[in-house]
Amino acid sequence: MFAPASAVRLVTFASAVRLAASAASAVLVASLAACSSGSSPSTAADGGGAASGCALAFLGTEGQPVEMKLFVRGADLHSTALADGARVPLILPPQGGRVIFVGVQATNISACGVTLTGSFRDNVNRQIRLDGRTMNLQPMGNGWGASSDTDMSTFSNIPMCPNQWADGDVFEKSFELTVTLSDPAGHAATKTIQAVPFCGEPEYEAECRCQCKKGYVLGQACGP
């Protein structure tokens, strides 16, 4: 005796539902197994591998005021100390334009996950160009930590050119440079000086002066 066609369709539908449920359960089990394997998505962070797993020791003495020195990295990939009125090189970065690489040395602050912010302010129109990033300070072995000359992401890459913001040329003119360094616990220091940018790569001098002059128009052709 044959079952009615409607009953056959009902049994077939029920079987399909059971198969779909079984497949979904298998996917869920596989997903849970993958999650419990100890792997986790990588976390990207600016500068020095500033990830949550940083285990570097505190720099200096907790409870003491943060001490900070300013540095600038040149085209030779070496940094020099900055004082008020210092000349600072405009450098061609991978993304184009011109930036100034400002770094620090500091003590009495965490080495892990510090926030470095640098800005240049025009002394006339008061407009600002700034860059902030999270990084780890490289311990120096004397209670101080520093930006690493071999890692430009541990420097504030302050964008200066193309110049569509300053009251005059960006080069050979004094600007107000402000740098702030802070850690997750609230230890912080800020320093402000005057600094004079200059085109720091002779082989790109013409292009630098073109992009950094007053009145530069975005897309304007500049010499090599």
The string of pLDDT tens digits covering residues 77-93 is 999 999 999 999 999 99
C-alpha span between 195 and 180 (Å, rounded): 16
Is 12 in a helix, a strand, or coil? Answer: helix
Measure Cα distances from 87 to 67, 80, 100 in Å. Answer: 22, 11, 11
Q: Which CATH class for the 67-211 domain?
A: mainly beta
Q: Name the band, by pLDDT with cuts 50, 70 and 90, for residue 50.
A: low
Res. 57: pLDDT tops 80: yes
Q: Where are the domains of the chain?
A: 67-211
Digit-coded pLDDT (tens) for 149-181: 999 999 999 999 999 999 999 999 999 999 999
C-beta separation of 136 from 52 below 8 A: no
